[in-house]
Amino acid sequence: MQFGLFDHLDHKPEAPARTLTDRIEFIRQAEAGGFRAYHLAEHHGTPLGMASSPSVFLAAVAQATSRLRLGPLVYLLPLYDPLRLLGEIALLDQLSNGRLEVGVGRAISPIELAFYGVGDDIAQARTAEALAVLRAGLGAERLTFHGRFFHYDDVPLPLAPLQKPLPFWSASMSVEGLTEAARAGMHTAALGNVEMIRSAVSTYREAFARLAQDPLRQQFGVAAPLNGMYRMVLVAPTDAEAESLARPSYLNWFSKLIKLWRERGIEAPLIGSLDNFETARAVGMLVCGSPARVADELAAQIDATGVNYVIAQMAYGDLAHRDEMASLDLFVEQVMPALRK
C-alpha cells in the first residue's frame, strides 16, 4: 500500500503567499514521512484552486523536494496548445530529475472550459487529439501532426523528458475512459462511494489484462499501474477533536467546489449531494477521527475496493496550517504503519 497527497490549493482567508509558503512546508513534511507523490488539481475562475497553471507551482515543489514524485491531476487538455505543453512537461521532468507524473483529462466543469471559449460539445474530441499530440511528441526530435484542432509541421523538440516512458494518470470514471487508461497502461485515480470505486478498479483491471499486448501499452504504459482512491482525511488525537476541525473546514472547501455551479443554477454532477458533512462521511469520501478510527475506516475501504494507492487530501478549506501539520504527523506516525501491516 502506497500513499499520495492530493491538493486543490484552494484559497484561504489569508494572503495567498502565506498559503503557498505553508503548503510547500506541508509537502516537504509529507515527503519526509514517506508519501509517494503530490498530485495537484487545475481549476479556473474559482477559489477552489490557485493553481490555474499547475506547472508553475509544481516547478517550485520540484525544487523544494528531492524524492517525492509530483504532477498534475489533471492537466485540463482542452485548454492547452499541446505543443507548448510538451515543452512544459519536458522541463518539469528535467527539473525534478525524473519525478513527474502527468495526469490528463477533459475537466468536469463545462463552466471553466467556457471561460476559454471551449464548448462542452468539442471538449472530449479536443482532449483526445491533444493527448495524441503529446504521445506523438514525447521522445521525438521533431513533431508533425495534422488533426481537427492542431496542426504542426516538422517542429523541432530540443528538450525531452528524462523518463522513458513518462508515467500518465487518468481520473476518468466511465467505462470508456477506464478502458482507454488500461489500454495505455496509465495509473488511475477514482472518487465516489465505495461501490463506485470498486467498480472502477474492477473495470480497469479486467481491461488491463485483456489489452496486455496493445501497442499503446507497449510504448507508453507503466509495468505496475496504481489504482488510487481519493479521500479527504483529517486526523486528531480524539474523534471529537477531529470532527470539530473537519466539519467547518469541509464545508468551507465545499462552498468553493460548488461556487460556479450554484451561481449559474446548474446541478453539479456527482458532487451536488455532498454539501452535507454527514453525507460525505457516510459515503466514505471524508474520513476523520483518531488515528485508530481513520486507520480502521481506510482499511475497510481498501479491502472493499481493491485499491493499492490512497490519495489523501489533508489540507483544505480554512483549516489552520498548524492543524494540517498535526494531522499529517499523526497520519504518518500511526495511520500509515497500521495500513501497511
Of residues 266 and 302, the one with the higher pLDDT is: 302
Cα–Cα nearest to 76, from 23, 123, 37: 123
pLDDT in tens, 317-341: 999 999 999 999 999 999 999 999 8
Q: Which domain holds residue 288?
A: 1-34+228-341
Could you tell me if residue 330 is inside a domain? yes
- Report pLDDT for 253: 97
Q: Assign residue 246 the CATH number of its domain.
A: 3.20.20.30
Residue 78 · residue 117 · CB < 8 Å? no
Task: For residue 4, list its beta bridge partners.
Answer: 37, 311
Could you tell me if residue 174 is inside a domain? no
Could you tell me if residue 198 is inside a domain? no
Could you tell me if residue 265 is inside a domain? yes
- Report pLDDT for 275: 85
* pLDDT reading at 273 higher than 70: no
* pLDDT reading at 226 higher than 70: yes
pTM: 0.97
Could you tell me if residue 50 is inside a domain? no
The upper half-sphere exposure of residue 134, i.e. CA atoms within 13 Å in the direction of its Cβ, equals 28
Residue 326 · residue 246 · CB < 8 Å? no
Q: Specify the number of domains making up the chain.
A: 1
What is the chain's alpha carbon radius of gyration, rounded to the nearest angstrom? Answer: 19
Q: What percent of the chain has pLDDT over 70?
A: 99
The upper half-sphere exposure of residue 9, i.e. CA atoms within 13 Å in the direction of its Cβ, equals 29
pLDDT in tens, 279-323: 999 999 999 999 999 999 999 999 999 999 999 999 999 999 999
* pLDDT reading at 272 higher than 70: no
Residue 61 · residue 24 · CB < 8 Å? yes
pLDDT in tens, 31-62: 999 999 999 999 999 999 999 999 999 999 99
* pLDDT reading at 237 higher than 70: yes
* pLDDT reading at 268 higher than 90: no
Could you tell me if residue 157 is inside a domain? no
Could you tell me if residue 74 is inside a domain? no
Instruction: Give the Cα-Cα-Cα angle 332, 338, 341 (nearest 5 degrees).
Output: 125
Q: What is the mean pLDDT of residues 198-227?
A: 96
Could you tell me if residue 132 is inside a domain? no
Residue 127 · residue 106 · CB < 8 Å? yes
pLDDT in tens, 65-123: 999 999 999 999 999 999 999 999 999 999 999 999 999 999 889 999 999 999 999 99
Residue 160 · residue 90 · CB < 8 Å? yes
* pLDDT reading at 187 higher than 80: yes
Report the distance separating Cα 82 and Cα 134, nearest Å.
Answer: 6
